[in-house]
Amino acid sequence: MRRTLMALFALALIFGTQGVWDLKAPAFAASPPSPPGNTLNTAMVGVPIVSGGRLVNYVLVRLTLVLKPGTDASRLVEKEPYFREALVRLGYHIRLNPPNSLNTIDPALVSSKMLPLCQAITGGNLVTGVQIKYQEPARWLPPPTPAPNPAAAPEPRLEP
C-alpha cells in the first residue's frame, strides 16, 4: 500500500511539473506582464485601508519599480525595505483605496504618489515608474454604505 501511494505521488509530481495540471495560483496567473528593461520587485506588504478614521482592512501588495535604463537593480535591493515602508506610511496618511471599495487600492494613485518617494529614497531619478504587480485583500469586505446626506434629513422639530 505504501509503495502504491509513493508511486502515485511521484506520478502526480512528474505530471504537475510538466504542465499537465495547472498548478499556478490564480492571482499570479492574472498579473500583468512585467515591463521591459530593469525592474525591481518588492516583497509583499500589507497596505492599510482606513475608513472613517478606523483601520478596517489590509491589502497585500507587491510592487514593481521600473528603473532607468542602465541602472543596476542589484544596487537597489538593499533599499527595498524602504520602498515598502514608504508605501505603508503613505497608506496611513492618505486614502489609497477607491471610494466604493475596501478591498483594493487604486493603481494610478499609488503610482503617482510613490514615484517621488521612490526617487527620494534612491537619491536620484533612478526609478521611472511604479506598478502594482499583485494585490489581494487580507479579508473581503462589502462595499461601504454611503453616509446619510445631512441636507436631506428633516429639520428637527422644536417643542414649545
Span 52-69, pLDDT tens digits = 889 999 999 999 999 999
Architecture of domain 31-137: 2-Layer Sandwich (3.30)
pLDDT at 118: 96
- Are residues 44 and 97 in contact, defined by beta-carbon separation less than 8 angstroms? no
Which tens digit of pLDDT belongs to each residue from 78-121? 999 999 999 999 999 999 999 899 999 999 999 999 999 999 99
Burial grade of 67 (CB within 10 A; 0-12, 13-18, 19 or more): buried
Residue 4, pLDDT > 50, answer yes
Specify the pTM: 0.69
18/41: higher pLDDT:
41
The helix/strand/coil state of 127 is: strand
Residue 20, pLDDT > 50, answer no
pLDDT at 155: 63
The helix/strand/coil state of 43 is: coil
Distance CA 118, CA 134 (A): 18
- List the domain boundaries for the chain: 31-137
Give which of 138, 113, 144 is closest to 127, Cα–Cα: 113
Query: What is the average per-residue pLDDT within 69-75?
Result: 90
